[in-house]
Amino acid sequence: MTHRRKKACQACVAFLVAALVFLSAPLPARAAGLTIEEEKKLGREIYEKLEKANALSKNQKVVDYVRKIGAQILVRQQRVPFDFTFNVINSSAINAFATPGGYIYIFRGLITLAENESELASVMAHEIAHANARHINAMIEKSQKLNAAALAGVIAGALLGGGSGAAGAAVAMGTMAGVQTMSLQYSRENEEEADRYGMGYLAAAGYDPKSMVDFMRLMRRHEFYSNLVPSYFLTHPGTSDRIRYLDNLLEARYTAKGKESIVGGFRRIQIEMLMEERNLEPVQARFRDELKKNPSDVNALYGLAVVQAKMGQTREADANIRAALRLAPEDPEILRDAGIIVYLAGDYPEAARFLRKAYQLNDADEETVLYLGKAYEQAGDYFTALELYRKALSMGMADDQICYGLATAYGQLNNPGESHYWFGTYFKKKKKKDSALFHYRAALGQFPSDSDRAREIRQEIETLQKPAEKPPVQYDPRNPGRSRRVP
């Protein structure tokens, strides 16, 4: 496994303002809304900015899971204005939003709060409905005083749902002079429409429409017990009225019960996300509480073992992962992490036993391949280790441990050229320039000068030897006699 609530509202405000401030310049002044193509362009620019700011989750397993749910919701919709894109924001805030052009973002904290897949799908269906109805565009059309400089503020307000937090953020940007706060929030009509269509999307996709109300009530409980208002409440006003409205919809129209799970594996996705929390003590307490309620909860045992391993509680992690295995002996993820836990404890034969079985059940799991290679290397079987490292590399795994493993395995197999090359690549990834150059130069003499590997090594050396570019100098209006370097 890749071991990887607010100050959340304030943090989200600051973060998204920073991410969107660049949008005010390129767009022309307008009193009308955006065309479909302009929405797509704007949505793409927001996505690229979020990506550049390293705000999007790189956990491909989680991103793929969210995208599968999105596809499940969209499959029954015949008329949509956009090609939708779903991504996960790597933040513990309990939030979700739609941007122009069909871009839907779900925050990590919302995934960990939901109790099942259908609840998560309900939020996504609501946001898809906002995008399909082009509610952000409608807000722009209503804001007759807006010009190009204020447009980014309106978008930020739409994303953040209005209210004083978003208005304060927009004012801080210096773009909202003369613009009414009502421009920064979805109207009650917007929310009711998104709820109505969202519940319809949810039911048509096969999910339980009641989960939309269940999730709202879950957030209510969270607010009561934690004394924190989930940011999704702040971005979606009038929650009490909306719950009553949705209850009436359920009774009048959506009486059939749908499924809680269609894609499957929701609890494991939650574990993936919980492992990315900076403070793991509350995560550990959460799994312990779940086990008090149900000592045979295999996912709670598994999650507890993984978090204990990450916290260095090796003995406790070993005991809990083995307890999970007794309940689910053919589970490839539990087998994989049992192998990793005992590998890190130094029991390499036992690690290989768990990892071989995990590999037999799923030979496409990158970490299973990597750690099985490491176990074989520790056992002295360098040929098999090398084969597994190569497979991990071919799977697109960009882990520096693969480079190190390849380097050591080639060295043991008396291939100094490839050994030095992979040590060079390992140190380059570690940003240790001098060590990388040493190994690349040592590798260069081991290959024919006209070979592809030699040409690749020369390119790496040339790139590493280039002087670092200095940041551009920018005039500082606060200090007319001084300039400063852009960080």
All structural domains of the chain with their residue ranges: 8-252, 398-487
Residue 330 pLDDT: 97
Asked whether 226 and 236 are in contact (CB, 8 A), the reply is: no
Residue whose token pair is 């509610």: 135
Residues 6+ positions from 452 with CB-CB distance below 8 Å: none
Secondary element (H or E) of residue 103 = strand 103-107
Tens digits of pLDDT across the chain (487 residues) = 544 333 333 334 333 433 333 333 333 344 456 788 888 888 888 888 888 878 899 999 999 999 999 999 998 876 777 889 999 998 888 888 888 888 999 999 999 999 999 999 999 999 999 888 887 777 666 655 444 334 544 454 444 443 333 333 332 233 333 333 334 466 777 888 888 999 999 999 999 999 999 998 888 777 655 555 566 665 665 667 778 888 888 888 887 889 999 999 999 999 999 999 989 999 999 999 999 999 999 999 999 999 999 999 999 999 999 999 999 999 999 999 999 999 999 999 999 999 999 999 999 999 999 999 999 999 999 999 999 999 999 998 878 899 999 999 999 999 999 999 999 999 999 999 999 999 999 999 999 999 999 999 999 999 999 876 665 554 444 454 444 444 4
Q: Which residue has the tokens 């059939």?
A: 256
Q: Coil, strand, or helix at residue 104?
A: strand
pLDDT of residue 5: 38
Q: Is CATH 1.25.40 the right assignment for the domain spanning 398-487?
A: yes
CB 172 within 8 A of CB 28: no
**CA-closest candidate to residue 273, choices 233, 313, 312, 303:** 303
- Which pLDDT belongs to residue 217? 87
CA distance 80 to 159: 20
Which pLDDT score is estimated for 361? 97
Positive or negative CA dihedral for 380, 382, 383, 384?
A: positive
| Beta-strand relationship, 483-485 and 103-107 | unpaired
Please tell me the predicted confidence (pLDDT) of residue 268: 96
Q: In the structure encoding, which two tokens stand for residue 75, read together?
A: 């499959």
Q: How many CA atoms lie within 13 A of 30 on its CB side?
A: 18
Query: String of b and e for 381-417 (b: at least 16 CB within 10 Å)?
Result: bbebbbebbbbbbeeeeeeebbbbbbbbbbbeeeeeb
- Give the pLDDT of residue 151: 53
Angle, alpha carbons 368-372-374 (nearest 5°) = 120
